[in-house]
Chain A
Amino acid sequence: MSSSSSLVAMKKVVHQLRFEASINRVKVSQAAADLQQFCIQNATQDPLLTGVSSSTNPFRPQKVCSFL
């Protein structure tokens, strides 16, 4: 690699790092609280978490009722 192209590449790296360094960061306590709140608020709507009863489970074969 020629020295001028590695210089260009390095300038890009520095430019990118400057960009990434400049973002605003939220406190971890806030971020963690929001994650927890999302999980808790949506817990009852999460079938894999709450379990699916066989009567409402589309993947469970329905037992056939026959009228005798």
Chain B
Amino acid sequence: MGEMEQLRKEAESLKDQITAARKAVQDTTLQEAAAGITVVGRVQLKTRKTLRGHLAKIYAMHWAVDANLCVSASQDGKLIVWDTITTNKVNAIPLKSSWVMTCAYAPSGNLVACGGLDNMCSIYNLKGKDGNVKVMRELAAHTGYLSCCRFLSDSEIITSSGDCTCVLWDIETGTQKTVFAGHQGDCMSLAVSPDFKFFISGACDFTAKLWDIREGVCRQTFGGHESDINAIGFFPNGNAVITGSDDATCKLYDLRADQELITYQDSSIMCGVTSLAPSLSGRLILAGYDDFNVNIWDSLKSERVGVLAGHDNRVSCIGVSADGMACCTGSWDSFLKIWN
């Protein structure tokens, strides 16, 4: 009895310590520091391509690293690999379970993965010998839905789940290498750092956590959001994290200062953020919302500098291509659009 109370007190005291330590380095704010630079001019992107073919809501998309290919997942039970320049479907992969919530393209371009309410992450080999795309591995161990997955290589993938954990898998053996536990709510999204040493997760406990992949530990936890974090991404230099939440805001947290630096919000925006992606320089943050739009934010000035309006339903996913040339949005209206 006494020990529990003691531990609780120690936890509270440590939380206060962290708050104080963060305040101690807060010698300015990003707003003040960026006061001297001007807001980016109005960003007007146009739809260059519309990718038609899915027959139901699109839940996820991910760009390939090489070439102008991307993969999308829809609850019509298909994973489609698109050539975004020609709009041709390179592969149309039928899924065992149509309740898909995420998809990912391996950096090599050889594999794609997906998963959802089946609680599994299925890996598909796009470069099979006979030309057929088949399931290569089914990673099963999560006790909740698969919300997100990202490849580290052709042999390792990280998944986030509604069971509140994230897992690093060995694809070859189909086994869990590391379980990252700590979130107190469904893990909704994850992103891998540019150097592949860390990943961040956003969850329904309103926090984002930074994990050391090899050590298997959580290094930092960021709070501040007032609702579920649905989307998360790394600032391109790997030193900051951007989150998008049901509380209608996006936030930027700096990893080295260990705190939130800025919030992207507007009183006219009252719906949740579903997805986000930074532009190549990090100056622009493109965020998809429940109100069918994508808002483009000046990341340093926290001002809205553009809107992408073109979908007839919620924008569920967004991604900026590897060379930064284009942004792709996927929607519940079953279409993907390429913008620049």
Digit string of B1-40 for contact with A (CB within 8 Å is 1, else 0)? 0011001101100110110011011111110011001001
B85 on interface, CB distance cutoff 8 Å: yes
Residues of chain B lying within 8 A (CB to CB) of residue A34: 237, 239
Residues of chain B lying within 8 A (CB to CB) of residue A43: 281, 283
Q: Which among A17, A20, A27, A39 is the interface contact of B283 at CB below 8 angstroms?
A: A39
Q: Which among A6, A14, A28 is the interface contact of B11 at CB below 8 angstroms?
A: A14
Determine whether the beta carbon of A28 is less than 8 Å from that of B26. Answer: yes
What's the Cα separation between A6 and B7 when bound, in Å? 11
Q: Smallest distance from the beta carbon of A10 to chain B beta carbons, Å?
A: 4
Residues of chain A lying within 8 A (CB to CB) of residue B204: none
Determine whether the beta carbon of B18 is less than 8 Å from that of A39. Answer: no
Determine whether the beta carbon of B261 is less than 8 Å from that of A28. Answer: yes
How many residues of chain B are within 8 Å of chain A by beta carbon? Answer: 64
Q: Which chain A residues (12-56) contact chain B, with CB distance < 8 Å?
A: 13-14, 16-21, 23, 25-36, 38-43, 45-49, 52
Determine whether the beta carbon of B256 is less than 8 Å from that of A58. Answer: no
Main secondary structure of the interface of A (DSSP, over half): helix
B182 on interface, CB distance cutoff 8 Å: yes
Determine whether the beta carbon of A29 is less than 8 Å from that of B283. Answer: no
Determine whether the beta carbon of B282 is less than 8 Å from that of A48. Answer: no
Q: Which residue of A lies closest to B327 (CB)?
A: A48
CB within 8 Å for A10 and B259 given contacts A19-B217, A36-B33: no
Determine whether the beta carbon of B256 is less than 8 Å from that of A46. Answer: no
What's the Cα separation between A3 and B240 when bound, in Å? 39
B163 on interface, CB distance cutoff 8 Å: no
Inter-chain residue pair count (beta carbon < 8 A): 170
Determine whether the beta carbon of A42 is less than 8 Å from that of B22. Answer: no
Residues of chain A lying within 8 A (CB to CB) of residue B11: 10, 13-14, 17
Residues of chain A lying within 8 A (CB to CB) of residue B136: none
Q: Which residue of A lies closest to B184 (CB)?
A: A13
How many residues of chain A are within 8 Å of chain B by beta carbon? Answer: 42
Residues of chain A lying within 8 A (CB to CB) of residue B338: 59
Determine whether the beta carbon of A32 is less than 8 Å from that of B43. Answer: no
What's the Cα separation between A31 and B258 when bound, in Å? 10
B317 on interface, CB distance cutoff 8 Å: no
B49 on interface, CB distance cutoff 8 Å: yes
Residues of chain A lying within 8 A (CB to CB) of residue B257: 25-28, 30-31
What's the Cα separation between A30 and B33 when bound, in Å? 9
Q: Which among B7, B18, B235, B326 is the interface contact of A14 at CB below 8 angstroms?
A: B7
Q: Smallest distance from the beta carbon of B151 to chain A beta carbons, Å?
A: 24
Residues of chain A lying within 8 A (CB to CB) of residue B22: 25
What's the Cα separation between A26 and B220 when bound, in Å? 14
Q: Which among A20, A45, A52 is the interface contact of B281 at CB below 8 angstroms?
A: A45
Q: Smallest distance from the beta carbon of B334 to chain A beta carbons, Å?
A: 20
Determine whether the beta carbon of B27 is less than 8 Å from that of A28. Answer: yes
Residues of chain B lying within 8 A (CB to CB) of residue A18: 14
CB within 8 Å for A59 and B49 given contacts A7-B4, A28-B261, A38-B237: yes
26 A–B contacts from the bound complex (CB under 8 Å): A6-B4, A7-B3, A17-B11, A17-B15, A19-B218, A19-B219, A20-B18, A20-B219, A20-B221, A21-B17, A25-B257, A27-B257, A29-B28, A31-B240, A32-B33, A32-B254, A35-B237, A35-B261, A39-B283, A45-B280, A48-B43, A49-B40, A49-B43, A49-B279, A59-B326, A59-B338
In the complex, given contacts A35-B239, A38-B237, A46-B324, what are 10 additional A-B residue pairs having Cβ atoms less than 8 angstroms apart? A10-B7, A10-B11, A17-B15, A28-B25, A28-B28, A35-B300, A36-B34, A43-B281, A46-B280, A47-B323
Identify the A interface with B (CB < 8 A): 3, 6-7, 10-11, 13-14, 16-21, 23, 25-36, 38-43, 45-49, 52, 57-60
